[in-house]
């Protein structure tokens, strides 16, 4: 039987050619850093529900789900119909539309913090605008964020994110506007007490952390009269219909959202207290943007949110995630591989290579999805083995949709076991 990498090359000849061509077109050969892969990238062609197919015709059970935006699965019929009908009416009408009002109304109905909102085009833009809003509202300049948290690729939000480095073009003056903290509520409280120039505190809503920390964060920011921003780009409409804030009943002052919000098309928004959102006003914040609330994104987003509101979308995805999580933990135990599968809602993380105890929901051993006992090369090899077996995603994080059936989960567990056995046979774990 061929080794993992030999089989990878045999299964993906067209992707190999495309990957080579892309090296001359794009930096690092990709259009998103998360799509880097070796020895070459696999190129996708189409998807339906929980499955997708690459250019070589290989079929996969999909656990990246549009980087988390496709909780309704690929090519959802209602989304396809709504966008197709809007295409015939026009893709950009250079004016306000009825659809944006429908879309915005659904956000205010579902999200506890949303008194008013402004649409943007991505999660990155949403956090950029949220930072600008709280600075304008308070007259202060600094934002407190947590170490390694990702809030988009813009200068300020990216400071201290995983991958930040001194040579990436972020000016020192910008870095000085960011206060970076560990997830330690006492240190956060001390920072707010010592520095009266902090305009806001931002928390990444999909960070798997015990609810008590989130509750305490709301308490200390309220005590110091500092606006609290939730980055709900991933957790919005997934952790619950109302996002992280809906699940934990902790209401921030502002929320930045994207992904599920726009039904799989580009789109984001900032929602929250009306007096803060209303800093977009003449003489204060000016906010143009050609594709803000464009008709296609509005049609997809409004349709998606209506489905999320009225059908058990989150509940179904959560149930499938629990089945996967339980199965992976059983598999690790069976194969005597140290680690765990854990996570909240419909995202499953894995921590491999370290013996520890946790409750399989909130794992307190360190950063999310850390591969403590195995090197990057071993995990990359596991990823290629899993790709060969027809599972797209992982090997240490899985984002589920409501279209994943129990049979999809069971097949995934069989394939994950086969991939682990192959990696073990090559001496990598």
pLDDT of the residue at 372: 37
Same domain, 176 and 234: yes
Same domain, 410 and 306: no
pLDDT of the residue at 366: 64
Same domain, 331 and 306: no
Please tell me what DSSP assigns to residue 163. T
Which value, in Å, is the radius of gyration of the alpha carbons in the chain? 22
Sign of the torsion formed by the C-alpha atoms of 87, 91, 96 and 99? positive
Same domain, 116 and 258: yes
Q: What is the CATH number of the domain that holds 86?
A: 3.40.640.10
Same domain, 184 and 44: no
Here the tokens at position 352 are: 């491999």
Same domain, 324 and 235: no
Same domain, 182 and 273: yes
Q: What is the CATH number of the domain that holds 379?
A: 3.90.1150.10
Render pLDDT for 101-145 as a digit per residue (tens, 0 to 9): 999 999 999 999 999 999 999 999 999 999 999 999 999 999 999
Kindly report the pTM of this predicted structure.
0.96
Residues above pLDDT 90, as percent of the chain: 91
Render pLDDT for 59-90 as a digit per residue (tens, 0 to 9): 999 999 999 999 999 999 999 999 999 999 99
Would you say residue 256 has pLDDT above 80? Answer: yes
Structural domain harbouring 410: 4-74+312-425
Render pLDDT for 39-62 as a digit per residue (tens, 0 to 9): 999 999 999 999 999 999 999 999
As a whole number, mean pLDDT of residues 178-204 equals 98
Tell me how many domains the chain contains.
Answer: 2
Would you say residue 201 has pLDDT above 70? Answer: yes
Render pLDDT for 17-29 as a digit per residue (tens, 0 to 9): 999 999 999 999 9
pLDDT of the residue at 371: 34
Same domain, 61 and 84: no
Specify burial of residue 31 (Cβ count, 10 A radius: 0-12, 13-18, 19+): exposed
Same domain, 319 and 359: yes
Render pLDDT for 313-343 as a digit per residue (tens, 0 to 9): 999 999 999 999 999 999 999 999 999 999 9
- Tokens 């980055």 label which residue? 231
Q: Last residue of a domain, which of 279, 310, 341?
A: 310
CA angle (261 as vertex; 43, 306 as ends), nearest 5: 115
As a whole number, mean pLDDT of residues 195-211 equals 97
CA dist 216 and 231 (Å) reads: 17
Q: Last residue of a domain, which of 310, 327, 346?
A: 310
User: Mean pLDDT, the chain, as a whole number?
Assistant: 95
């Amino acid at each position: 039987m061929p080794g993992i990498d030999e089989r990878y090359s045999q299964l993906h000849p067209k992707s190999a050619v495309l990957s080579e061509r892309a090296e001359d077109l794009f930096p690092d050969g990709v259009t998103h850093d998360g799509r880097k892969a070796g020895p070459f990238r696999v190129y996708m062609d189409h998807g339906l529900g929980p499955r997708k197919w690459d250019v070589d015709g290989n079929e996969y059970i999909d656990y990246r789900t549009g980087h988390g935006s496709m909780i309704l699965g690929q090519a959802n019929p209602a989304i396809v119909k709504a966008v197709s009908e809007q295409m015939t009416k026009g893709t950009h009408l250079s004016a306000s539309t009825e659809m944006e009002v429908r879309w915005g109304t659904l956000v205010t109905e579902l999200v506890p913090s949303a008194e008013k909102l402004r649409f943007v085009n991505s999660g990155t833009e949403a956090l950029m605008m949220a930072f600008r809003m709280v600075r304008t509202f308070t007259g202060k300049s600094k934002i407190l964020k947590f170490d390694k948290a990702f809030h988009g690729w813009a200068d300020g939000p990216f400071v201290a994110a995983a991958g930040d480095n001194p040579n990436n073009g972020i000016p020192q003056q910008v870095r000085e506007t960011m206060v970076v903290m560990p997830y330690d509520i006492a240190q956060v409280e001390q920072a707010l007490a010592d520095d009266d120039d902090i305009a806001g505190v931002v928390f990444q809503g999909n960070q798997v952390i015990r609810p008590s920390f989130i509750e305490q964060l709301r308490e200390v920011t309220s005590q110091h009269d500092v606006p609290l921003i939730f980055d709900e780009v991933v957790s919005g409409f997934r952790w619950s219909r109302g996002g992280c804030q809906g699940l934990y009943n902790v209401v921030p002052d502002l929320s930045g959202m994207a992904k599920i919000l726009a039904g799989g098309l580009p789109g984001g928004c900032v929602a929250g207290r009306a007096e803060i959102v209303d800093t977009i006003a003449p003489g204060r914040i000016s906010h143009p943007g050609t594709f803000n609330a464009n008709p296609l994104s509005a049609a997809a987003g409004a349709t998606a949110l209506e489905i999320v509101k009225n059908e058990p979308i989150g509940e179904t995805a959560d149930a499938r995630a629990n089945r996967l999580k339980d199965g992976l933990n059983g598999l690790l135990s069976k194969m005597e591989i140290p680690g765990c599968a854990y996570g909240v809602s419909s995202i499953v993380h894995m921590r491999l290579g370290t013996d520890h105890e946790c409750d399989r929901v909130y794992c307190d051993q360190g950063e999310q999805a850390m591969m403590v006992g195995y090197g990057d090369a071993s995990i990359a090899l596991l990823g290629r083995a899993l790709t060969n077996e027809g599972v797209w995603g992982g090997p240490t994080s899985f984002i589920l949709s409501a279209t994943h059936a129990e049979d999809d989960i069971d097949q995934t567990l069989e394939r994950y076991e086969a991939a682990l056995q192959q990696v073990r046979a090559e001496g990598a774990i």
